[in-house]
Amino acid sequence: MKEIESLKKLQEIDSQLHRVKSDLNEKPLEISRLDAELQEKSSGLNQLEEELKQVQLQHKEKELELQTREETVKKQQAQLFQVKSNKEYSALQLEIGKAKADNSLLEEKIIEFLEEMDRLRQSVSEEQKKVSASGEVIRQQQAKLKQEVESLNKEVADLENQRKIFIDQAGFKPEVLELYERILKNRGGMALALVKDGACKGCFLAVRPQIMSELKMGKLITCENCSRILYVESE
């Protein structure tokens, strides 16, 4: 019975250790999730900034095009004084009129680009504020998670030290400790299972009466189904 009692105490330590390590394993996932959340928020801002950049480039191209066209019109207007016939004069005037109409349409397009640039600048400014605010919240959450990781690492170290000291003091037989460690690893940190109401509480398989009798005598027995070390509550 002493051996089972010692294993139960070891299991208490290992249950705490398993819980703390599980919590510890979750923290990097939470930190990564927050990174992804911030990246997703930033991607919207990046898209708006790219749209603004493209509109600015198109605006510049249209302004250069308008400048070239206006210079052409000036040259054509200068040519009006050099033509020698009414037919050439009328044809050139017609060409100048068409060019001016095209330039007028181009000016409207440039105004549209200016309006779009103003709209996008406003959107970028608003999105920057949102991303900045969200980023600050996320960074605070990540800092808190990192502090929790440090605390959990310390708790793991303390429990592992406590476990080592207990094993040294308990004086387990090597084969018993080896069996316990193997089951602990294969059964998710739970190597022992209580037998209550005639069933293993690890897998709920019914325990035969003969095994119940042997357990009450302090014999070390594993469950036929889940392989956990069985024990009964002290009467």
Encode pLDDT of 57-66 as tens digits.
Answer: 999 999 999 9
- When pLDDT is cut at 50, 70 and 90, the band that residue 235 belongs to is low
Residues 162 and 112 in one domain: yes
* Residue that wins the pLDDT comparison between 218 and 148: 148
Residues 31 and 138 in one domain: yes
Residue 1 has pLDDT above 80, yes or no: no
Residues 145 and 218 in one domain: no
For the chain, give the longest Cα–Cα distance: 130
Report pLDDT for 41.
85
Residues 86 and 42 in one domain: yes
Taking CB atoms within 8 Å and a gap of at least 24, the contacts of 194-203 are 194/230, 194/231, 194/232, 194/233, 195/230, 195/231, 195/232, 196/232, 196/233, 200/225, 200/226, 200/228, 200/230, 202/226, 202/228, 203/228
Residues 84 and 143 in one domain: yes
Question: Structure pTM?
Answer: 0.66
Residues 194 and 117 in one domain: no
- Does 10 fall in a domain? no
- Does 3 fall in a domain? no
Residues 194 and 99 in one domain: no
Percent of the chain past pLDDT 90, that is, above it, reads 85
- Does 80 fall in a domain? yes
The number of folded domains in the chain is 2
CATH number, domain with residue 104: 1.10.287.1490
Q: Which of 123, 149, 170 is the last residue of a domain?
A: 170
For residue 226, the enclosing domain spans 173-235
Q: Which of 170, 198, 224 is the last residue of a domain?
A: 170
Report pLDDT for 172.
93
pLDDT tens, residue by residue, 140-199? 999 999 999 999 999 999 999 999 999 999 999 999 999 999 999 999 899 999 999 999
pLDDT tens, residue by residue, 10-46? 999 999 999 999 999 999 999 999 999 888 889 989 9
Report pLDDT for 75.
92
- When pLDDT is cut at 50, 70 and 90, the band that residue 217 belongs to is confident
Residue 98 has pLDDT above 70, yes or no: yes
- Does 102 fall in a domain? yes
Residue 65 CB partners (closer than 8 Å, separation 6+)? 106
